Chain A
Amino acid sequence: MNGMHQLNRNGVVIDDTFAEAFGMRATAIIITAPTLKWARQAAITMTGYATSVIGCGCEAAIDRDLPASKTPDGRPGCRVMIFAMGTDELQKQLKNRLGQCVLTSPGSACFADLEGTAPLDLGNALRYFGDGWQISKKFGGKHYWRVPVMDGEFLCEATTGLTKLAVGGGNLLLLAADNAKALRAAERAVAAIEKVPGAIMPFPGGIVRSGSKVGGKYKGMMASTNDAFAPTLRGVVNSALTPEVNAVLEIVIDGETDDAVTAAMRAGLKAVIELGPKRGAVRISAGNYGGKLGKFHYHLKDLLP
């Protein structure tokens, strides 16, 4: 077990290690529709292919569903968060995804949901689709664009806010005896973290099975398989896995703030520990790069229930 000092909670071994995360740029919007189903459809489409900045340009997911009483237009909706490494890339991703996935979705409307240090264009970037029939409305300190479309109007706030305080890359590695147990533990963690406001898990269902290390043997590879945690390579590489571990899944967390990532990791840890080693993970670890790349370090021992 590579000599790492360990703790134990409810029979689950906790590595004395930390998740290493990075400062990111982020924004948040609210998407509404006539029903929650269609608000989620627009949001899911918009946040598709947005698992990692490495290949997707951004990381995005639904933060939480919102009842009609909590949205600007009194219809059901959801809050979506998008993260990128730079402001320009974030604006580009926001504009393209809004235009192709939300504008196009039946009955959708889009509103800002982040008071940030700078504005990012929403409706300001899409209004020209109205071909001169778009209507600008300013009231209540907000600016809206109304763009005529085939089912009525696409209502979209002109801008949303940008935060530079976002954090990307919080993570938990869940080590289990088999795939089913690893998945059960990961699903418990995802369900718990979904309740934390301001934190998203951008990978499929919130779970990553292809954790990575920096670089690789092939030229140009920014990341390659995390061989130390790949059970089929145990024995042929410098493995981090003990004999009883046969499956590892990772939860990656992006947060609006450092506090949001902390709360999300704490919630995930608690859920997996409560599940216990017989039904879920026997051990919890976290990914880092030695602490030299990322500004934010989340030590597991500080987050235990």
Chain B
Amino acid sequence: MKALTFSLLAEPEERLDLSALTHSGLAGLTDMQIKKLRIGTTRNPASVGDIFKVTGNNPQSIIFEGGSARFDKIGTGLSSGAIRVIGNVGLEAGRKMSGGSLLVDGSAGDHAGSGMVDGRLEIKGNAGDYLGAPLAGEITGMEGGLLIVRGRAGNYAGERLRRGIIAILKGCGDYAGYRMIAGSIVVAGRVGAMPGYLMKRGSLFLDRRPENLAPTFVDCGETDIAFSGVFDRFLIHEKIMDKPLLGPRPGKFGGDVAVSGKGEILFRRGR
């Protein structure tokens, strides 16, 4: 079976809700039924056939040839199979993913990986604000899975993260790990102001000493722990990093003591 491929005909004139274009959303539909699915968000919404040329027949492997910052909610609720987007995506990519993989060759908008429970979301370009963060009214952010941003992420990356790993490889904006509950955030590159602000538990792993920390983080000194070796090996094995992030004796800040103070910022010393 050939991958089900959606080739973009032209830049869409409206924002698109692509949440239906997953394995579970397309299972059992004929080509004609797929082309008639409404994905536009205006009063006269566009259908799949208006925006894409559809080829292939394997919904376990979905490819979007061409992307747009108007491609919202791509991979929503993805539970199995693979989606690849050759281009950019808009808001809420991988929203509530529970399995499978979503690969975005370009950049993503705000709230990528929001509500993610499991699976793998990889963004080769940059990500917007609120990476893996909850939507308004939600109590917790990402609750599992692996979210990789090869480029830079905006502000509030990993807000209220509860479980899972977010890895950002070219730095991020302010308030990374804001109000974190648990889980892990990896940042290679410069981190903005106030990382880990009001975090209760969880870990921020940085490739350099953080600047602009909240005064409610406490310097715990140098640590000699086996964990850094295991985690560095994991990052290299998963091809997230090509060299150790933390090294053998990372430094540690504990905090945020303004809340429970059981979180940590581990960082590579000497940078």
Contact = CB atoms under 8 A, between A and B. Distances in A.
Tell me if chain B binds chain A: yes
What 4 A-B pairs are tightest by C-beta distance, nearest first?
A: A109-B226, A73-B229, A153-B225, A155-B226
17 contacts: A32-B226, A72-B233, A73-B230, A109-B230, A135-B203, A136-B182, A137-B203, A137-B227, A137-B231, A139-B234, A144-B230, A146-B225, A153-B226, A155-B225, A155-B226, A155-B227, A155-B230
A108 to B, nearest CB: 8
Nearest to A68: B229
A129 interface: no
Given A135-B264, A136-B182, A138-B163, A72 B230 contact: yes
Contact of B165 (A74, A139, A151, A153): A139
B238 interface: yes
B5 to A, nearest CB: 31
Given A132-B262, A138-B163, A152-B223, 19 more contacts: A32-B226, A72-B233, A73-B227, A73-B230, A107-B226, A135-B264, A137-B184, A137-B227, A139-B165, A140-B234, A144-B227, A144-B230, A146-B225, A151-B224, A152-B224, A152-B225, A153-B226, A155-B226, A155-B227
A227 B163 CA distance: 62
Interface of B: 146, 163, 165, 182, 184, 201, 203, 223-227, 229-231, 233-234, 237-238, 262, 264
A153 B229 contact: no
Nearest to B249: A152
A186 B203 CA distance: 52
A133 interface: yes
A75 interface: yes
A151 B229 CA distance: 16
B132 to A, nearest CB: 15
A73 B234 CA distance: 10
A109 B184 CA distance: 21
Contacts of B184: 137, 139
Contacts, number: 50
A72 B182 CA distance: 23
B220 to A, nearest CB: 10
A153 B226 CA distance: 7
A149 to B, nearest CB: 10
- Chain A interface mostly: strand
Contact of A153 (B146, B163, B182, B227): B227
Nearest to B244: A74
A138 B234 CA distance: 11
A256 B93 CA distance: 47
Nearest to A32: B226
Contacts of A138: 163
B245 to A, nearest CB: 13
Nearest to B263: A135
Contacts of B225: 146, 152-153, 155
A137 B237 CA distance: 17
A73 B182 contact: no
A155 B234 CA distance: 15
Contacts of A107: 226
Contacts of B264: 135
Given A74-B229, A132-B262, A155-B230, A140 B238 contact: yes
A109 B234 CA distance: 16
Given A136-B182, A137-B184, A73 B233 contact: yes
B204 to A, nearest CB: 13
A139 B202 CA distance: 13
A123 to B, nearest CB: 12
A155 B227 CA distance: 6
B100 to A, nearest CB: 16
A138 B184 CA distance: 9
Contacts of A136: 182
A138 B227 CA distance: 12
A74 B165 CA distance: 22
Nearest to B260: A132
Interface string A122-158: 0000000000110111111000101000011101000
A140 B146 CA distance: 10
Contacts of B230: 72-73, 109, 144, 155
